[in-house]
Each structure stands twice: as structure tokens, then as C-alpha cells.
Structure 1
Amino acid sequence: MRRFVVVAVSALALAANSAPVGRAAEPARLQPVTRITPPEGCVVLTPGMNGVKVRMVQQRLGMPEGTWETMDAATRTKVERFQKRKGLTVDGVVGPKTWAAMGFAEDFCMDRWTATPALGLDATSAQRIRTMIRFARPYLGGEYVWGGAGTREYGVDCSGLVLQALYRAGLDPQPITLDKHVRPAYRTSLQLYKHPGLQHLPFAQRQRGDLVFYRSNSTGRVNHIGIYLGDGKILEAVSGPDTTRIGTVTTSRYGQTVMPTVVRPFP
């Protein structure tokens, strides 16, 4: 073991010494994997959390359709009233006990579901792109759920769908994880856009399998992502009546502007 460490360090030093003087070393590219790192734990629904479990709680408590899937003040008030009726600790937080009291058939840890990589380490880029798109296509027509990143029956948002499709094709873009995806103010689309381990190319050079991003015109922040299919088409999950669909890539739409670079997850 000691000999291996010495060799590894020497190799790294050699690589560093061979880099051009004055030029910073480029970050290492993400490499294919056959196992995805699981989330650290089950998501407790504290204030501001998002996702499928929030939606299920809101539906169980009779909140109106169209309610944003977030543990906001109105949702927490409903939860507190339920907890009081059931003799539970009244804190507006949905943990395992409150979840069980609501009578869900689904396990409290349902949001740990992760797509299993379908390819070996020797798969080609073309195979990975096909696998990514093949995984995403069955979601077409499915529901949009803010913070969703599970199976089609429960709904996904734009970056949740892309994240699981990447998993299926054998890419684990750590430190991005499913448990972070549902957190308040965490934007998986933004994290993918600026990930140093992913290849970035000009939008004009986009090709099938690239990830296309949009920013909000009001905030300037990346807030949408889709999978480019080629021929000007994009597979994306969008809120509203269109749900998950195949749309047309445009430089401006719905108060959004396309970002100047795309991400190529499988160069």
C-alpha cells in the first residue's frame, strides 16, 4: 500500500511538472461510474424543503391543486393542525412519525430512489447519450413537480429529470446529490452549469446529448435545463400544462434567455 501511494504521488507530480508554465491545471473531468453515490439520509420536510413528498403531504391535507411543492407557511400550518389532532409533536415538520400518521403507503425514504447505471465502464459516448435520452423519454407527458427527481409516476422538475438520466448513463456529478436537490435555494441546474468536471462548449457548437441551459431575465440566474436532441429540439420538464415535453430550442422564451455555453456530459 505504501509503495502504491508513492507511485501515485510521483505520477501526479510528473503531470504537474509537465504542465505549461504560467497556465493553471485544468480540473479533472468526471469519469463514468457503475455505481451512484447514494444520498446521505432520508429527507425530513423542514421549512423551505421541496419535492414529491411535500406534494403528497399537501394533497393529503387537502391543499388546492396548483400549490407550489414547497414547505411554505401555509403548508406548515396545515401540518401543525394535523399533528395537534393526532397528538404528535406540533412543529410543522414532517419526519417519519408524522409521515406514518398520514398513512402513506410509500416509504418515508422514497426520495432516495436513484437510477442504476446501465452501462459498463467501456461504453462509448454514443452509447451513453442514447441511454440518457432513452431513460428520459418515458417521462414525456408526466407531471412537473418542483424538486421532484424520482420515477415518472411521482413527477420531476427539469434538473431532477436530467440528474437521473445522467445517473442512468453512468455519470455521478458529485457534489450534486438528490438530497441537495430538494433543499431551499439549491438549484441543481445552476450547479450542473458551473460544474468544473463537465465540458463546456459554445452554444453554437451544440450537438445531440448536450445539456442546454436558460437563465431568468429577472434574476440573471440559471433556472432551467434540458437535454438537446439535435435538429433544434430539446427534451425538458416544464411547469404548467406542457409538463415533460419535446420543445424547440430558442434563444429567448418565457422570460428566459439561453446561456452562451452548453455542457457536454459525454465528450
Structure 2
Amino acid sequence: DADDLIGSAMGLLGVAYRYGGSSARTGFDCSGFMQHIFSRSMQISLPRTSAEQARTGEYVSRSNLQPGDMVFFRTMGGGRISHVGLYIGNDRFIHAPRAGKRIEITSLNNKYWNAKYATARRVKKNDPSRFLN
């Protein structure tokens, strides 16, 4: 599952960021990117926003991250989850960062992202808990 998910994400490296975007042709925002790759590679329908996605699947501690887990960040201040990326291993994640940027791979240890890290979630293909919110 994780291999398909990461392969799908890697195939979109360089696609432009677009606020509210959810297609490879016109660009993605962070949560639209997650929706697209989970739908395409795992046939899983994620909610639209990063805050909603952060309530999907099961909690994963940072020390137990595995490739394919979603990593969440608080980039707007306050307690609200406002950004999501896909963990790909070796303390790295792939994401649609912000306007003017393209889908890229970034280190979780990057000073900015490390300070904004909030939580992580693991969504499995045949996990019944994803239907129970």
C-alpha cells in the first residue's frame, strides 16, 4: 500500500501549488494532494481539509512514523491543523507547500517544519475504523 501511495505522490513532484486545487492538471493544495493520491492508489476517500484529515485513521507517534503515514502541521498559529504531507521515510515528507511553490520533498528536521509539526495518522486500506468518526 505505502509503495503505491508514495509512487503516486512522487509522480506529481513539480506540480504547482494552487489554493483549493485538487487536480494534477491545474495544481493542488496540501489536502487536495492527499485526497488525490489516497483515492488513486488506495481507493480511499479522505475528507477535504487537513484538519478533517487529521481525524482520519489512527494516531501514530513521530518516533513510529512509517512511509505512507500522513504528517500534519500547525502553520497558521493557534491549535488548528493547517497543513498535511505524506511521510516517505528517512525523516522526509512530500507535500504541496504554498502558493508560488511546487510539490516537493522536505525534511521533517527542517527548522520551520520541525517547529510546526503537530501529529501523524495512518490510514489503512481495509481499516473499518476509517468509517467510524
SS at match of 1:222: coil
- 1:145 corresponds to: 18
- One-letter code aligned to 2:74: R
Give the Cα separation in 2 of the matches to 1:132 and 1:202.
20
Residue 262 (1) aligns with residue 114 (2): no
Q: 1:230 aligns with which of 73, 82, 89?
A: 89
- The equivalent of 2:38 in structure 1 is 166
Q: Which has the higher contact order (CA 8 A, sep 6+)?
A: 2
Deviations 1:84-135 (A, max 9, x none): xxxxxxxxxxxxxxxxxxxxxxxxxxxxxxxxxxxxxxxxxxxx11111111
Contact 1:211 1:262 survives alignment (8 Å): yes
The alpha-carbon distance between structure 1 residues 141 and 266, as it changes in their structure 2 partners (threshold 3 A), is same
| Secondary structure in 2 matching 1:225 | strand
> For residues 145 and 242 of structure 1, do their structure 2 counterparts lie closer, same or farther at Cα, with a shift above 3 Å needed?
closer
Q: Contact 1:129–1:266 at 8 Å: present in 2 too?
A: no
Aligned match of 1:47: none
Q: In structure 1, list runs of 5 or more residues that go unmatched.
A: 1-127, 182-187
- Find 2:55's aligned residue among 186, 194, 216: 194
Q: 2 CA distance for matches of 1:221 and 1:251?
A: 21
User: What displacement does 1:264 show?
Assistant: 1.1
Aligned to 1:132: 5
Determine the C-alpha separation between the residues in 2 that align with 1:215 and 1:131: 27
Distance 1:241 1:129, change over 3 A: same
Relative to its length, the structure with more helix (as a share) is 1
User: Match for residue 108 of structure 2?
Assistant: 249
Q: How many equivalent residue pairs? A: 125
**Whose radius of gyration is greater, 1 or 2?**
1
CA distance in 2, matches of 1:264, 1:190: 15
Does the 8 Å contact 2:108/2:114 carry over to 1?
no
What amino acid does structure 2 have at the position aligned with 1:194? R
Give the TM-score normalised by the residue count of structure 1. Answer: 0.43
1:138, distance to aligned residue in structure 2 (A): 2.1
- How much does 1:254 deviate? 6.5
Of Structure 1 and Structure 2, the greater strand share is in: 2
TM-score normalised by L of structure 2: 0.82
Residues 203-218 of structure 1 correspond to what in structure 2 (within 5 A)?
203-216=62-75, 218=77
Residues 203 and 245 of structure 1: is their aligned pair in 2 closer, same or farther, counting only changes over 3 Å? same
Q: Tell me: CA distance 1:141–1:171, structure 2 relative to 1, closer, same or farther (3 Å).
A: same
Listed as ranges, the gaps of 5+ residues in structure 2 are 126-133
Q: Deviations over 1:116-167 (max 9, x none)?
A: xxxxxxxxxxxx11111111112211111001111x2210011111111111
Please give the secondary structure, in 2, of the residue aligned with 1:239.
Answer: coil
Taking only aligned residues, the RMSD between alpha carbons, in angstroms, comes to 2.2
2:85–2:93 Cα contact (<8 Å) kept = yes
Offset of residue 241 of structure 1: 4.0
Q: Identical aligned pairs, as a percentage?
A: 25
Q: What's the CA shift string for 1:26-66, capped at 9, x where partnerless?
A: xxxxxxxxxxxxxxxxxxxxxxxxxxxxxxxxxxxxxxxxx
